[in-house]
């Protein structure tokens, strides 16, 4: 979709799901990364791949947040991490904020193409993640992952899902992060899977 034939987020999501189910170390991931993950007591769950549409976001994201907030076993000890692809990126980006505007350069898969419309009427113009991104960035750099903190997730569906999630999570205190992944031509699958496991470990340490 949008000129991207093989979306890295789907591949990485499947690798993480297999890792969570089987416990087997993903191919190419340093055993030390997995050992740190296991020592942190992290549990991965979810792995939903949404279609690229605002409709899918609106139908799915609020229930994810409310489900976590209502689950006594994870309340106060969970976070939501979204992934999206940036075909122009040469490294991984940790998005620090979502913007309350939908300004789609092309229609989403449902054919919707808003121009400058608020995502949530009357809500804040921007919402920042409550996670400490410098700490996460430091751990990624320690693992040799090329990455930066970004202030601009665009105004397409990536920003739409991030802002929607941040807005829904704010009242219940669930941290939310959006990670932009590059194409595999710029960063290998193993490096991207390593990055996501490292991010989960870093979040658990906060």
Distance CA 113, CA 82 (A): 22
Beta strands in the chain (DSSP E): 80-85, 92-95, 97-99, 126-128, 147-150, 176-181
Is the Cβ–Cβ distance between 189 and 11 less than 8 Å? yes
Q: Are strands 176-181 and 97-99 parallel, antiparallel or unpaired?
A: unpaired
Of the candidates 95, 99, 139, 147, the residue annotated as catalytic is 95
Strands (E), 60-145: 80-85, 92-95, 97-99, 126-128
Residue 180 annotated among the catalytic residues of the structure = yes
> In whole angstroms, what is the distance from residue 155 CA to residue 95 CA?
13
What CA–CA distance (Å, rounded) separates 116 from 119?
Answer: 9
What number of other Cβ atoms are within 10 A of residue 90's Cβ?
Answer: 11
Catalytic residue flag (residue 95): yes
Q: Are 179 and 104 in contact (CB under 8 A)?
A: no
Concerning whether 170 is annotated as a catalytic residue, the answer is: no
Q: Mind telling me the catalytic residues?
A: 95, 158, 180
């Amino acid at each position: 979709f949008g000129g991207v034939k093989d979306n890295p987020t789907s591949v990485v999501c499947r690798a993480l799901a297999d890792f969570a189910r089987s416990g087997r170390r993903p191919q190419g991931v340093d055993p030390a990364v997995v050992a740190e993950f296991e020592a942190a007591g992290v549990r991965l769950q979810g792995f939903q791949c949404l279609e690229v549409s605002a409709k899918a976001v609106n139908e799915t994201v609020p229930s994810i947040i409310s489900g976590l907030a209502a689950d006594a076993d994870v309340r106060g000890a969970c976070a939501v991490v979204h992934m999206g692809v940036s075909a122009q990126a040469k490294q991984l980006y940790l998005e620090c904020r979502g913007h309350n505007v939908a300004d789609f350069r092309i229609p989403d898969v449902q054919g919707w193409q808003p121009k400058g419309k608020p995502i949530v009427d009357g809500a804040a113009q921007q919402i920042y993640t409550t996670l400490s991104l410098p700490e996460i960035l430091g751990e990624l750099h320690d693992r040799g992952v090329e990455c930066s903190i970004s202030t601009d997730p665009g105004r397409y569906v990536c920003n739409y899902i991030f802002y929607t999630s941040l807005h829904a999570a704010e009242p219940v205190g669930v941290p939310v992060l959006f990670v932009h992944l590059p194409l595999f031509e710029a960063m290998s699958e193993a490096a991207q899977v390593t990055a996501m496991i490292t991010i989960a470990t870093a979040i658990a340490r906060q």
